[in-house]
Amino acid sequence: MKNKKHAIYLKTSFASTIFFAIFCLTLIANQANAQATKSKPWNPPASAIELKNPFAGDANAIKEGKKLYVTYCTPCHGNSGKGDGIAAASLNPKPADHTSDAVQSETDGAAYWKLTEGRGPMISYKQLLTDNQRWQLVTYIKTLGKKK
């Protein structure tokens, strides 16, 4: 008799633990969804916006930047930088379109800061790439608008 009571108690507490776990997961999933669908503005600090690109317009930097871009960035940003890489479909928010006016009109410093810091699926490249490599990438990205 005592054992049976114990068993029922165990079953109930097990069931409520499962329900509670599912409840929590639903909350987390909702939260993640809400964050993902809201495309929040991504504003670099003024000090980053003012940073000068040491390679601006440099032909060799564009060449090196393109090599890095093909290796690291095209899976998401696509071959032409339009944000249509093979991994793009599964991402939220979508990878930025580097040919867009929004990206082309921001300062080199702003783009450099974003790719250094990262946000969401766009990881931080601070550790993966050197300063020079990140500036070379920005120099290359700034040539993509003209190809439209």
- Cis preceding linkage at 41, omega within 30: no
Residues at the site binding ligand HEC, with contacts judged by CB under 6 A: 42, 72-73, 75-77, 87, 91, 93, 95-96, 103, 106, 111, 114-115, 119-122, 125, 137
Name the residue nearer to ligand HEC (CB basis): 13 or 79. 79
What is the rounded distance in angstroms from the CA atom of residue 132 to the CA atom of residue 46?
A: 21
Q: How far is CA 45 from CA 52, 107, 110, in A?
A: 14, 12, 8
Name the residue nearer to ligand HEC (CB basis): 22 or 36. 36
What is the rounded distance in angstroms from the CA atom of residue 25 to the CA atom of residue 102?
A: 36
Name the residue nearer to ligand HEC (CB basis): 17 or 132. 132
Q: How far is the CB of 76 from ligand HEC (least distance, A)?
A: 3
Name the residue nearer to ligand HEC (CB basis): 17 or 130. 130
Q: How far is the CB of 80 from ligand HEC (least distance, A)?
A: 14
What is the rounded distance in angstroms from the CA atom of residue 82 to the CA atom of residue 145?
A: 10
Q: How far is the CB of 59 from ligand HEC (least distance, A)?
A: 19
Ramachandran angles phi, psi of 132, nearest 5°: -60, -40
